[in-house]
A and B are shown apart, each in its own frame.
Chain A
Amino acid sequence: ELKVEQNPLFLSMQEGKNYTIYCNYSTTSDRLYWYRQDPGKSLESLFVLLSNGAVKQEGRLMASLDTKARLSTLHITAAVHDLSATYFCAVDSGTSYGKLTFGQGTILTVHP
């Protein structure tokens, strides 16, 4: 059974600081997704990582994938208040694309 674990589950940051969210998964998978969810909203796709060593960046967020370690990271650079949200990683089951197993989510709060 595929398991996906994120840490930390809660992250309180000061504006301007850097931090990393970690996502570990238990079995081989072709695709690793990162999503953002604002309170009361649906999921916004941030990144899809396909291969070992893949790195993608968008603004203050950078995601990377190490398939050998079964680890993905979401790095936040110089956090701003607008980044406050819940961040989920998810992994494809491998049996068919689209069947995602999600991590628990990381609730990020950025303080002035």
Chain B
Amino acid sequence: SAVISQKPSRDICQRGTSLTIQCQVDSQVTMMFWYRQQPGQSLTLIATANQGSEATYESGFVIDKFPISRPNLTFSTLTVSNMSPEDSSIYLCSVGASGSIEQFFGPGTRLTVL
């Protein structure tokens, strides 16, 4: 399995500001994934964070709004930029552990934008 931590666990932010969410994994992984879960909804993939290359974004998500960094094989950040109340969600990172077919999820960051 993989042990994943995220910081912060929750935050309340003002509209127009930005928040950077960190995801740390206890082992090296090739790809890390960022998902959004809006209140009462399912999960939607935002982007794939690849080490050494630009992140790959899903339809409806753009780099200017959700810039991602992947400086090494155990760490990634997702920034939610110029926030509005519609960005209030839980943001989760996910990885697949080496030698495992499972996909593991971090504890999530609960973001509220006022």
Are A and B a genuine interacting pair, yes or no?
yes
- The answer to whether A50 and B104 have CB atoms under 8 Å apart is no
Interface residues on B, range: 20 to 34
* Residues in chain B near residue A88, CB distance under 8 A: 42-43
* Residues in chain A near residue B113, CB distance under 8 A: none
Q: Which residue of A lies closest to B107 (CB)?
A: A42
* Residues in chain A near residue B111, CB distance under 8 A: none
Judge if A81 is at the interface, Cβ distance under 8 Å.
no
Q: Which residue of B lies closest to A105 (CB)?
A: B42
Q: Which residue of B lies closest to A92 (CB)?
A: B103
Question: A42 to B106, alpha carbons, bound, how many Å?
Answer: 7
Q: Which B residues from 39 to 82 make CB contacts under 8 A with A?
A: 41-45, 48
Task: Describe B's contact surface by its main secondary structure.
Answer: strand
Judge if A25 is at the interface, Cβ distance under 8 Å.
no
Closest Cβ of chain B to A51, distance in Å, is 11
* Residues in chain A near residue B105, CB distance under 8 A: 35, 42-43
Judge if B83 is at the interface, Cβ distance under 8 Å.
no
Which of B44, B48, B101, B108 contacts A42, CB < 8 Å?
B108
- The answer to whether A99 and B44 have CB atoms under 8 Å apart is no
Using an 8 Å CB-CB cutoff, how does the interface string of A96-112 with B read, 1 for contact, 0 for none?
11111111110000000
* Residues in chain A near residue B92, CB distance under 8 A: 42-43
Which of B41, B102, B107 contacts A45, CB < 8 Å?
B102
Given contacts A48-B102, A104-B42, contact A96 B107 (CB under 8 A): no
- The answer to whether B101 and A101 have CB atoms under 8 Å apart is no
Question: A88 to B94, alpha carbons, bound, how many Å?
Answer: 15
- The answer to whether A96 and B31 have CB atoms under 8 Å apart is yes
Can you report 8 residue pairs joining A to B where beta carbons are below 8 Å apart? A42-B106, A43-B43, A45-B104, A48-B102, A90-B43, A96-B31, A98-B103, A100-B94
The interface of chain A, by Cβ under 8 A from chain B, is 31, 33, 35, 41-43, 45, 48, 50, 88, 90, 96-105
